[in-house]
Amino acid sequence: MKKTRMPKINNDTIAAIATSSGRGGIGVVRLSGDEALSVAKKIFFVPQKTNDSSKLLQRKSFISRKMYYGFILNPDNKKIIDEVLFVYMKAPNSYTKEDVVEIHTHGGSAALKSVLNLILNFGVKAAPPGEFTKRAFLNGRIDLTQAEAIIDIINASNSKALYFAASQASGSLKEKTDKISDKIKTVLSEIEAAIDFIDDLEDDLDTAVLIDTINKIIKDEISPIIRFYDDASFYRDGYTIAIAGRPNVGKSSLLNRFARSQKAIVTDMPGTTRDIIEIKINLSEIPLILADTAGIHASENPVEIIGIKRTKEYLKSSDLTLFLLDASTPLSDEDFKIYQKVKAKGYIIVINKIDIAKPDTLIEIKKEFAESVIAEISCLHNMGIEKLESIITEQVSEFDDSNEHSILLNMRQKKELQSAAEALQRGVAELKGNAYPETISIELQEALQYVGNISGALISEDILDRIFADFCIGK
């Protein structure tokens, strides 16, 4: 693996609106850089008397981390833009480890944009997404795992996702990767000693012990973290549930019941749903992505055919399928064909229209799917929906988050850890094949590089830019 130098820090002073768009009680404009205070001082004025804007003076000195009351003035026309609170944080005791100024305005977009535009007129650069956190990383205040955890905290839609993100922000993943790196380095030191003192030590290398040590690193340190990602990533990304069945069994009606609103069009005409409609809900602190799919059946309508194709693709990628059956009509060949597509993965048999169910049909369904989890509902009369929700909750396993491996990676981190494990496995193969110590060393050094990429010890600028592009502006 090619090593890369740490990207250089941009020394421009930057500014951005740090609060979300829309109306609110307070909005924040943030500046960071060497010129942050000198620029902000040019537009911040304080009254001679509290709350009296008739006589305003430019404040000359500021104590770090103390909040000041005053007004933002346009220096050109002396007009007041807004009544604000002003705080200066002197480097290195700030979020970016640079001089930082925050101006707390009223939360309307006009006030925030006016203050920001005034600051930009002094040559300050508009901050791209994630630039403040990127500087915090480049300046050594946080590592890359903590930086990525910040965006996860912002995006957390449930308490579990927030818990994992906050844990990572406090350094849990960095602590774990440091431990893995230390263990790899211990093995590597023995290998490299054999290189440096080949005549004395090559015969003394205990290959069996080294193989056992590397395998334990993979088995006990790396694999459990990757497994936890596979099991628990839905807390951050959402657990996808497809609602499938033949046309007119009530798929759209069920989606609307989950949404508690009319998200999908419902008619008596089969084939109304032509494309996938998704909603996001939280069910017992579990983020769910529910999808109403097109009814699967034989069709010559080209639009329906496209919708059915997308449904089949969605079923392959979803975590769980709610397979809807109609209790008012006998099972059909189409029902059994759909079942063949959903049975390979997790599914729940959902019998709809039990308010008008035919007894023979209910008996037939329960007999055919006796080994399956079954829920009986009526979307029309809102019967059995809460029971179905509790069944879904039970299907989505709870995880033990109290052990040292309960760290929720993102996809980038998972891939780096997988690559590290693969490099270690190649090292084991080289050891078993009695390869030269130099060859084995290359594999272990590569594993170290992958682990180091997780915390950002050495990472390319383009990867860094892609990571921070996912951040919001102002963070």
Residue 298 pLDDT: 53
Domain 154-232+408-456's class? mainly alpha
69, 93 Cβ separation under 8 angstroms:
no
Q: Backbone phi, then psi, for 65, in 5-degree steps?
A: 70, 15
Span 14-143: which CATH code?
3.30.1360.120
Axis-axis angle for helices 461-469, 131-138 (nearest 10): 140
Q: Which of 302, 352, 363 is nearest to 322 (CA)?
A: 352
Total Cβ atoms within 10 A of residue 82:
19
When the candidates are 3.10.20.740, 3.50.50.60, 3.40.50.300, 3.40.718.10, the CATH number that belongs to 237-395 is: 3.40.50.300
Residue 260 pLDDT: 79
Phi-psi group of 248: left, alpha or beta (phi > 0 → left; psi -120 to 50 → alpha; rest → beta): left
Q: How far apart are CA 405 and CA 172, in angstroms?
A: 10
Contacts of residue 208, Cβ cutoff 8 Å, sequence gap at least 6 = none
User: pLDDT tens digit string along 135-185?
Assistant: 999 999 999 999 999 989 988 888 888 999 999 999 999 999 999 999 999
Within 13 Å of residue 43, how many CA atoms lie on the same side as its CB?
A: 30
Q: CA torsion angle for 107, 111, 117, 118 (degrees, to 10)?
A: -120
Q: Backbone phi, then psi, for 123, in 5-degree steps?
A: 90, 5
Residue 124 pLDDT: 96
Residue 214 pLDDT: 95
Contacts of residue 35, Cβ cutoff 8 Å, sequence gap at least 6 = 13, 122, 123, 124
CA distances from 168 to 162, 218, 462 (A): 10, 21, 23
pTM: 0.79
Contacts of residue 233, Cβ cutoff 8 Å, sequence gap at least 6 = 408, 409
Contacts of residue 171, Cβ cutoff 8 Å, sequence gap at least 6 = 143, 145, 146
Residue 351 pLDDT: 96
Question: Within the chain, which residues score under 70 in pLDDT?
Answer: 1-9, 50-53, 196-204, 261-275, 295-309, 311, 397-404, 458
Residue 5 pLDDT: 52
180, 416 Cβ separation under 8 angstroms:
no
Q: Does the CA dihedral 243-248-249-252 come out positive or negative?
A: positive
- The residue extents of the domains of the chain are 14-143, 154-232+408-456, 237-395
H/E element, 446: helix 437-455
Phi-psi group of 186: left, alpha or beta (phi > 0 → left; psi -120 to 50 → alpha; rest → beta): alpha
User: pLDDT tens digit string along 349-360?
Assistant: 999 999 999 999
